[in-house]
Amino acid sequence: MKINNYYKQYLTKLLKIPQSSSKIKLLFSPTDFNKELIYSINKARCRIYIVLLYFDCDRSGRLILDTLYKAKKNYYNLDIIIIVDLHRAKRNRLGNIDTVTNIDWYYYIAQINSDIEIPIYGIPISNKEYLGVFHLKGFIIDNKVIYSGANINDVYLNKLNYCRYDRYRIIKNKLLADTLVNYINQYLLTAKAINRLNNINNKKIIINNIYKLRKTLRTANYHYLGTINYNKLSIIPLIGLGKFNLLNKTIYHLIYSAKKRIILCTPYFNIPNILFNSIVDVLNLGITVEIIVSDKTANDFYVSKKNNNFHIMNIIPYLYEINLRNIMIRLQNYINHGYLVIKVWKNQCNSFHMKGIWIDNEWCMLTSNNFNMRSWRLDLENALLIYDPQQSLTKENNIELNNINNYTKLIKHYNDIQIISDYPSKVRNLINKIQKINLDKIIKFLI
């Protein structure tokens, strides 16, 4: 198939970092992820780089930060750096009326540990949070990379009566760890827009510095001495900001490279047109596409009818569901013939935060990217693309997929999804209002 071979050649030419299958470990629960994180911090002797959207002041956040300070105290030369999104650190979670922000907490902890230096930095990808966030993910601990979409708080680390499920990989690979750290040192820590959050000399946000950083990051990629045409287990680190970045381009080529089956997993269903069109193209070639999405009640923006703290952002899960139903209407014929499979994930009161792509048991992408319009254009995203031509990780990948599918429901027809008139009155009235003034089109671009 010529179209398949063309896109396959693109993937073949990507620089690859050789990886031993015995040095990749999959975890399948947030509890195990929490244990592994604390264990790895305690064992660290050289460096700990924590890069994520937010690091919250709650029981889990306090425990992790306390563990980091103890590690630094025991090994003074241990290099510890934490980087989060600046705008997210300056505000509380939606619905939280507490006036103490994460930045206040970072500063307080730094003051009571004044003899221990652990810098916490904030990165502004744009001058407003809704125009783009620092969405990189990864924990680099010595020569180990712990990759997950999870942030640090009680929900992600399963310290409440509910949790947010994600994907978790522990990868031992010095070149990979060095590559991720070098990017941080070269492009982030040297940026004038970066802000030290846990000292009194917080800089003012200078919009021009943010523009310069954003311009730099649009073309900045991971740099490493990889191999081309490597036909064994390997990893390709990817990063990108803006519509035409390398990560987006690789996702696009991945879809077209499929021979038999694609599985795409995302909590937020708001697929860009370019991905929608590519999915339709491969469906026409007879390739099976399986999409696993969050049920609206398993979305982290969802609030129940009993919750009186309704915020405008709480309509987002309903907007995602409307998107899903509209797409199913357009593609119902493919669903009827078994080429397109739609599954919705729901597990009690837990929420769903898994994202990634699996292609023919040969490619597996771990990513921060939600495959939505926001990730495609506005946010700084990264990914680890695992190339496994000998299918040495198939067993573990199938276990992960089976664990996900244990809580999915197959949706065979768009009529199986609720319509706007089925929604609670607050949600229904608000959606009707924003649709009348076409505000839903703007919101769709930003969520």
- What are the residue numbers of the active site? 135, 166, 353, 381
Pairing of strands 261-266, 356-359: antiparallel
Phi, psi (5° rounding) for residue 272? -65, 155
Phi, psi (5° rounding) for residue 122? -115, 130
Greatest CA separation found in the chain? Answer: 66
- Copy the structure tokens of residue 45: 């002797």
Backbone dihedral region of 138: left (phi > 0), alpha (psi from -120 to 50 degrees) or beta? left
Q: Where are the alpha helices (DSSP H) in 301-393?
A: 316-336, 373-377
Using alpha carbons only, what angle is made at residue 271 by residues 268 and 275, rounded to the nearest 5 degrees?
140
3-state secondary structure of 226: coil
Within 10 angstroms of residue 339's Cβ, the number of other Cβ atoms is 18
Neighbour order of strands in the sheet with 356-359: 17-18, 234-240, 381-387, 363-367, 356-359, 261-266, 288-294, 340-345, 408-411
Note whether 381 and 356 are within 8 A (CB): no
Sorted by sequence, the CB contacts under 8 Å of residue 33 that are 6+ apart come out as 27, 146, 148, 150, 156, 157, 166, 168
Q: Where are the alpha helices (DSSP H) in 295-393?
A: 316-336, 373-377
Neighbour order of strands in the sheet with 168-172: 24-27, 168-172, 144-148, 138-141, 47-51, 79-85, 120-123, 195-196
Q: Where are the extended beta strands (E) located within 76-143?
A: 79-85, 120-123, 138-141
Phi, psi (5° rounding) for residue 416? -80, -5
Residue with tokens 């470990």, as numbered in its chain: 25
3-state secondary structure of 222: coil
- Copy the structure tokens of residue 320: 């995602």
Note whether 281 and 231 are within 8 A (CB): no
Q: Where are the extended beta strands (E) located within 86-222?
A: 120-123, 138-141, 144-148, 164-165, 168-172, 195-196
